[in-house]
Amino acid sequence: MKINSVHAREILDSRGNPTVEVEISTKLGSFIGVSPSGASTGEHEAVEKRDGGSRYLGKGVKKSVQLINSKIAKSLIGKSCLNQKKLDELLCLIDGTDDKRKIGANGIVACSMAIARAGAASYKKPLYTHLNDIYSKLYGKKIAVKIPQGYFNVLNGGRHAANKLAFQEFMLVPSANSFAKQLQMVSEIYHHLQVLLIKKFPGQVIAVGDEGGFAPPLSKPEEALNLLVKAVEIAGYSKKVSFAMDVAASEFYSERKGRGKSSGEYRAHKMFNASSLMKYYISLCEKYNIVSIEDPFDENAFVDFASLRKLISQNSNLKKRKIQIVGDDLTCTNSLRVKVAVLEESCDCLLLKVNQIGTVTEAMQSAVLAQKNGWKVMVSHRSGETSDTFIADLAVGIGCGQIKSGSTARGERVAKYNQLLRIEERMKRR
């Protein structure tokens, strides 16, 4: 199926910032791809192209849009949308840089996602099935589609909230036999949590953060986790819900140099070095039913990640729980960094964000590498989102078994979860 036209435009994301939307048309119709954008971004991520200047406070994306409507459109028109890998490679070739800085990863990823949707329509398949076909070919064997376990961010801190909580996300991990039941459980807990927060902070407005989780005036992780424990208990799910944290430690890490070495400090609710922060995580895991910790150290601290994994595995109280250590800023969905993390034994789960690397194919290649080395994979949204649901189909299509897309509030978060409900319903009918 040949591409007849390519048109990019500037739209707004959930934080009110510009982002790139690309519309690709074939004889079957028009297909959209939209780029999300992160607030907490790793230094090794593919580069977003922004306009600078005063318009939209410098965050406009018209330069990327113009390049897509000229260079990329010229190269894609007339090409078949059925070979995702070939077209993604072409997008990378047109940009010509390692980090997508010429066109911008925000423009390239929107093109790549639109191509995938056009390809699915050409094959007359649901998007998740088409993505599964692509992924299975890259993997070298048929991968089963799978509805993922949700990781629901209901309390926000860090760069996602205007409070003093350094850790960025506190998530609920419900155990249920369907995604529909997971969603119900978290929704109920979320509303009980809101009542607890209103009682705890009378007369104050309880805001929500970028990802729909509440952003109350907390400062310590224990305060957040205690509230979650209480809300889960009130909802009647104490034995069915675990907890996860995205620490995003790079955001509160400061490097200092001395005596010929580089070392650093983590300025959270108190001062930590890597060793004391490691012990603090262990203490939290011993006190609370935490099953996943994302980015516990700085984005270049491969050895510290590995040390925490080893410490958990040697702890008699924790090793049976199989707490996963997730790499996000550490790995940036980049296969080269995943290889380093594999060699260092830094993680056992990859956070997969397509816009971190720039194309669907490259993201899938990182996932293949992770899974072939025994890692889990968690597909993730960004803090700046739209109502686009691509990642829901992606999580099901690659059969990774994990997804996070924020809380059960805010349309751009719930859109992904609602898409999973549709897919789950469709899969049960088969």
Residue 352 contacts residue 390 (beta carbons within 8 Å): no
CA nearest to 291, candidates 341, 237, 346, 349 = 349
> Crossing angle for the helix pair 105-122 and 127-139, nearest 10 degrees?
100
Q: Dihedral through CA 54, CA 58, CA 64, CA 70, nearest 10?
A: 10
269 or 130: which carries more pLDDT confidence?
130
Predicted confidence at residue 98, as pLDDT, reads: 93
Q: What digits encode the pLDDT tens for the residues 183-209?
A: 999 999 999 999 999 999 998 878 898
339 has a pLDDT exceeding 90: yes
Q: Is 211 a catalytic residue?
A: yes
Provide mean pLDDT across the span 359-367.
98
pLDDT in tens, 22-50: 999 999 999 999 999 987 677 899 999 99
Nearest to 413 by CA among 204, 208, 109: 208
Span 304-322, pLDDT tens digits: 999 999 999 999 989 899 9
Is the separation of the CB atoms in 110 and 22 below 8 Å?
Answer: yes
Q: List the catalytic residue out of 59, 100, 353, 416.
A: 353
What type of residue sits at position 92? C
* Residue-averaged pLDDT of the chain: 95
Question: Is residue 103 classed as helix, strand or coil in its secondary structure?
Answer: coil
Active site residue 265: no
Nearest one of 290, 284, 294, 286 to 173, comparing CA atoms: 290
Burial class of 275 by CB neighbour count within 10 A (0 to 12, 13 to 18, 19+): exposed
**Position 248 confidence tier, pLDDT thresholds 50, 70, 90:** very high
| pLDDT of 83 strictly over 90 | yes
DSSP label at residue 320 = G
Structure tokens at 105: 């990863």
Query: What's the fold here for domain 5-124?
Result: Enolase-like; domain 1 (3.30.390)
Task: Check pLDDT > 70 for residue 257.
Answer: no
Active site residue: 211, 294, 299, 362, which one?
211
pLDDT at 252: 93
Q: Which sequence spans correspond to the domains of the chain?
A: 5-124, 149-429
Task: Specify the CATH superfamily of domain 149-429.
Answer: Enolase-like C-terminal domain (3.20.20.120)
SS3 (DSSP) at 285? helix
- Which pLDDT band holds residue 90 (cuts at 50, 70, 90)? very high
Pairing mode of beta strands 253-258, 261-267: antiparallel
> Token digits for 20?
């790139």
Mean pLDDT score, 160-171: 88
pLDDT score, position 295? 97
- The single-letter code of the amino acid at 194 is Q
Looking at residue 40, what is its pLDDT?
65
- In this prediction, residue 374 has a pLDDT band, given cuts at 50, 70 and 90, of very high
**Contact assessment for residue 264 and residue 256, using Cβ atoms and an 8 Å cutoff:** yes
Residue 137 backbone phi and psi in degrees, to 5: -65, -40
Amino acid at 323: I
What pLDDT is stored for residue 38 in this prediction? 81
